[in-house]
Structure 1
Amino acid sequence: MPFPASDTGAPVVLDRREGPHGEVVLRRRETGGEPVHEIIANGCFLMDTSDGRSERLLVDAAFEALRTGNFAPSLLIGGLGVGFSLAHAAEGEQWRQIVVVEREEAIIEWHRSGPLAAVSGAALGDPRSVILHTDLVEHLRTTEDRFDALCLDIDNGPDWTVTDDNQALYSPDGLASCARVLKPGGVLAVWSAQPSSAFEDAMRNAGFTGVRTEEIRLARGVPDVVHLGVRPA
């Protein structure tokens, strides 16, 4: 698809799509002479390529919480986004398998043949990586596959979902589905723009142990966080 050139000033819309869950938009803006790409869903800013620390910590925190021993674990990522989580997971050799579930066809195309290939191109070519175009909530409920870690980054957090139907993911039934796809001792890691004590309680009520929250300090504003919990062995 053609992508228009950007200049300095206001963000430039590179692509706009209407999908089954509403509108998704890819924009580009210039920051210090460098292009930054943004994903907007239904008018809500999701993420951009300016700083991938949060997404990298999400993956690293999940791995560090695993008692891996001598085996290479498998990873399921909920949400492709701008691709930082996938790219970071594929950079090392610690993950045996990396599966990403993304429900927006447009986002997948932006990675396969659009501007976001600059972030994820190498990872998409990694034989360990698989992208599934499907709804995460339904996939967690129905898949027969099991993983050592599940990283969720599809919303701005459990208390700030992109669409109303995503709220089911953080409900008791949704957390039961998360636990279902994890092997005993597997780790659930959930990115959020702000901490949620209510979600920590929900994770404990769902049977996760060692529930804790790690902060990611940013240059400005409140820290992002990752909520972590372990499925009992």
Structure 2
Amino acid sequence: MEYVEIARAESERGELVLRERRPEGAPTSLELRANGVFVMDTVEVSTERALASAALELVEDPRAVVVGGLGLGYTMHEVLADQRVEKCAVVEIEEALVGWMRDGTIPHGPALLADQRVVVVVADIAHALAEARPATYDLVLLDVDNGPGYLVHEANAALYAPPFLTAARAALRPGGALVIWSADEAPELAAALTETFGDAEARPLEVLLQEREEHYWLYVARVRG
């Protein structure tokens, strides 16, 4: 397996690297790493798509959606595939990653961002939702980690605590939902969501990854309306 670095950036959170995997006799793929830790790649994107499609099924009229975390764009891509969506705001803290998506360093990026429903905001999702007008969104998808047990950055722990969850609730319209992806069960997150929203549920989700079944969780909290 050959790895070729495509792009590298430094920020106050550390190092972000985009590299190309060139397996012998197989198509090339992109891989994103943060501080040396694998984040995602373009080989297996079922989890990102499953998060978006399952979340969209939970809201009757998801006209305005906010996605916390750009990644390689596959969660956003699945959101945009739903014709009910009129606006998809993507909040990404790493400016370099947004740049790679815009300038074609990530080859599928320019086509995704050309969709007029997309608005990309370079910011911390916690700050973005705290500053959002009340009742702005129908759906908030949090896709910055694999849940509270697998943080990309330690500071992300705050995204699973009541202060952030309260800001997310305020940004949602009646009937809206906050959906958080988690690789494992997260009872403390469930308790924090229940404290903030009044009720919450953990939904098991099976995803087929390269012919093997993997079990994940969606943590869902709704604004009753």
- CA displacement, residues 27-80 of structure 1 (integer Å, 9 cap, x when unaligned): 111355212211111222111111221111211122111133xxx521000000
Change (3 A) 1:221 1:57: closer
The normalised TM-score by structure 1 is 0.87
Superposition pairs for residues 17-166 of structure 1, below 5 Å?
A: 17-31=9-23, 33-68=26-61, 73-118=63-108, 120-144=109-133, 146-166=136-156
Aligned length: 221
Distance 1:115 1:208 in 2: 43
Q: Corresponding residue for 1:202?
A: 192
Change (3 A) 1:29 1:14: same
1:199: how far off? 1.5
- CA displacement, residues 185-209 of structure 1 (integer Å, 9 cap, x when unaligned): 2111112222322222221121253
- SS of the aligned residue for 2:224 comes to coil
Q: Corresponding residue for 2:163?
A: 173
Q: Which runs of 5+ in 2 are unaligned?
A: none
Change (3 A) 1:131 1:190: same
Which range moves more in the overlay, 192-201 or 218-227? 218-227
Report percent identity of matched pairs.
Answer: 32
Change (3 A) 1:30 1:223: farther
The normalised TM-score by structure 2 is 0.90
Q: Is the 8 A contact 1:194 1:222 kept in 2?
A: no
Q: Is the 8 A contact 1:179 1:231 kept in 2?
A: yes
Distance 1:117 1:150 in 2: 26
Distance 1:216 1:116 in 2: 28
Distance 2:156 2:16 in 1: 16
Distance 2:84 2:106 in 1: 24
Distance 1:222 1:195 in 2: 13
